[in-house]
Structure 1
Amino acid sequence: MTHPAAIPSSSASSNAPSTGEAPKRQRRPPRRVEVSKIEILSPAMRRITLKGAELEGFPVTGPASYIKLIFPEPGQTEPTRPLPDGPRAVSMRTYTPLVVRPEALEVDVDFVLHGEGPASTWAAQAAVGQVLFLMGPGPGYAVDTAATQHLLIADDSALPAVETILAALPATAHAQVLLEVISNAEQRVLHSAAQLDVRWLARGTDHRTAGEPLAKALRALPSIATEARIYLACEAAAMRRIRQLLIDDLGVSRSQIVGRGYWKLDVVNHPDHDYGDDA
């Protein structure tokens, strides 16, 4: 989900030596934000509103875009502001900005409480006034508003991205949504102008079964429309298995699928540009 490496301008000197390395991506400046509101959506999901004067000029981007949040290290009351060319912050994680309110200088972010980890641990104890640094946004998912059939396949980590996609669909669209969550207590109403068919699939607390309920539900579908646009986002290995299931067993064209590996079992810092097209 990160920007691709920049392509050098054609006006650059042809005599410049080649290092064989991609140009370094320009980091967006960090923005200091404070928690202004906390909403409990379900036992494992918190919606936290981040607010701050440094959100002035923060752009409203498309569905399933991403931001980076930098969390305090142990012993800190707030994170250290990262330098533009300094090392990557240790406790930095990728999230979807659910709603951006430029006039109020606010961004809403949903957090899954999945156990140990800098972000989950912080979100479980978050309080109004606590400080984070926010970087981004990065690009998201280009919704084909002309398509009438959409299939969204995701686990709880990608639920906020799914919600932003649903919000972008027109009333002429039909969206079939498969959502894998910890338990049935995570179910809630999803909103969209489109016609929705939502199935919540309980995985349980064993993360090693990630993706199994999604795969089972897909195999039970009567059919997938040949013109359907498919967004697939979940644990990285599960995403690859489901992608191949769609292609090899269910007859879906590769061009119909956009895949995102939102997290990876037993990996602390999974890259945010895992598209699964190496499967």
Structure 2
Amino acid sequence: MRMTHVVRIEDLSPHMRRIVVGGEALEDFPLGQEGAHVKAVFPKPGEKEPKLGLMLGAKKWMRSYTIRTFDEHKQELSLDFAVNDHRGLATDWASQAQIGDLLGIAGPGPTKYTNYQAHWHLIVADLTALPAAAAALEKLPTNAKGYALIQVPTTADIQPLKKPKGIELNWVIGPYQHKNLLLEKVQQVEWLNEEPAIFIAAESAQMQEIKLYIKTKPGYQKKLTYASGYWKA
């Protein structure tokens, strides 16, 4: 585990805040891990310094976050937080974060994307998984083809993303509470031939509905599919 401190804060949109942490503890942080996750270790409410270690109850103060970028020269790690949409340990910390605040970092863990060289790709993500989707798009080869469907609350939350020309990017605008807008969009996709690499990350129940649908489609392979409930309504 590494102790870092906040060096920069950038509001990317009304519901997404980038917090860049740095420090000498990142000197040996591995390269090329964008899209993988770290465990962010937060201070307990009312305290300034997180407790590092795997003591009893430690997991209560940890949350998984995607590595958006890492600058080895500046020793700076960028994490994007969904904010102003719901309350919780991580979102509350990110909403109130200030330069110099301390954050523990454990990991990184493995990258979840199943096959960057697949015949085609289907990436489905809500606001909380936008950083992971963005990192995956950046790592796809230039000849990649397929679809990326990303849901955000408002048009102001749309971000410029780097992607191959063959990936059709569709922004799904609207709240998650009333219906599964991502599922509706997936059902409209023209399913391509051969086996796709599939990445689904969204609210847990909605992710399950999308997964059940895609399992009925031709070319679906469990080994090429990553599906995760990033949070629960």
How high is the TM-score relative to the length of structure 2?
A: 0.91
8 Å Cα contact 2:150/2:171 also seen in 1: yes
Structure 2 residue aligned with 1:97, among 62, 67, 82? 67
Q: Deviations over 1:26-66 (max 9, x none)?
A: xxxx2111111111110000111000111121112445311
Name the SS of the counterpart of 1:167 in structure 2. Answer: helix
Name the SS of the counterpart of 2:103 in structure 1. Answer: strand
Task: Please give the alpha-carbon distance, in whole angstroms, between the structure 1 residues aligned to 2:146 and 2:189.
Answer: 14
Larger RCO of the pair (alpha carbons < 8 Å, separation 6+): 2
Name the SS of the counterpart of 1:137 in structure 2. Answer: coil
Unaligned runs of 5+ in 1: 1-29, 266-279
User: 1:85, CA displacement in angstroms?
Assistant: 4.5
User: Structure 1 residues 62 and 33 mapped into 2: Cα distance closer, same or farther (>3 Å)?
Assistant: closer
Larger radius of gyration: 1
Name the SS of the counterpart of 1:123 in structure 2. Answer: helix
Name the SS of the counterpart of 1:208 in structure 2. Answer: coil
8 Å Cα contact 2:195/2:221 also seen in 1: no
How high is the TM-score relative to the length of structure 1?
A: 0.77
User: Structure 1 residues 151 and 59 mapped into 2: Cα distance closer, same or farther (>3 Å)?
Assistant: same
1:216-227 aligned within 5 A? 216-227=184-195
User: 1:96, CA displacement in angstroms?
Assistant: 0.4
Task: Please give the alpha-carbon distance, in whole angstroms, between the structure 2 residues aligned to 1:183 and 1:142.
Answer: 27
Q: Deviations over 1:82-122 (max 9, x none)?
A: 23454324322110011112221110000000221111111
1:37 paired residue number: 8
8 Å Cα contact 2:120/2:145 also seen in 1: yes
Task: Please give the alpha-carbon distance, in whole angstroms, between the structure 2 residues aligned to 1:67 and 1:127.
Answer: 21
User: Structure 1 residues 235 and 35 mapped into 2: Cα distance closer, same or farther (>3 Å)?
Assistant: same
8 Å Cα contact 1:203/1:209 also seen in 2: no
8 Å Cα contact 1:169/1:194 also seen in 2: no
RMSD over aligned CA atoms reads 1.9
Unaligned runs of 5+ in 2: none
User: Structure 1 residues 58 and 124 mapped into 2: Cα distance closer, same or farther (>3 Å)?
Assistant: same
Q: Deviations over 1:154-203 (max 9, x none)?
A: 11111111111111111111241101111222112111245331111123
Name the SS of the counterpart of 1:161 in structure 2. Answer: helix
Worse-superposed segment, 35-44 or 226-235: 226-235
Structure 2 residue aligned with 1:163, among 134, 140, 143? 134
Task: Please give the alpha-carbon distance, in whole angstroms, between the structure 2 residues aligned to 1:32 and 1:181.
Answer: 31
8 Å Cα contact 1:52/1:106 also seen in 2: yes
Task: Please give the alpha-carbon distance, in whole angstroms, between the structure 2 residues aligned to 1:252 and 1:181.
Answer: 28
User: 1:222, CA displacement in angstroms?
Assistant: 2.8
Task: Please give the alpha-carbon distance, in whole angstroms, between the structure 2 residues aligned to 1:63 and 1:37.
Answer: 19
Worse-superposed segment, 219-228 or 89-98: 219-228
2:86 paired residue number: 115
User: 1:262, CA displacement in angstroms?
Assistant: 1.1
Name the SS of the counterpart of 2:148 in structure 1. Answer: strand
8 Å Cα contact 2:42/2:90 also seen in 1: yes
User: 1:213, CA displacement in angstroms?
Assistant: 0.6
1:198 paired residue number: 169
Name the SS of the counterpart of 1:36 in structure 2. Answer: strand
2:220 paired residue number: 253
Name the SS of the counterpart of 2:108 in structure 1. Answer: strand
User: Structure 1 residues 156 and 225 mapped into 2: Cα distance closer, same or farther (>3 Å)?
Assistant: farther
User: Structure 1 residues 142 and 221 mapped into 2: Cα distance closer, same or farther (>3 Å)?
Assistant: closer
8 Å Cα contact 2:125/2:202 also seen in 1: yes
8 Å Cα contact 2:5/2:22 also seen in 1: yes
1:19-34 aligned within 5 A? 30-34=1-5
Name the aligned partner's letter for residue 134 of structure 1. Answer: I
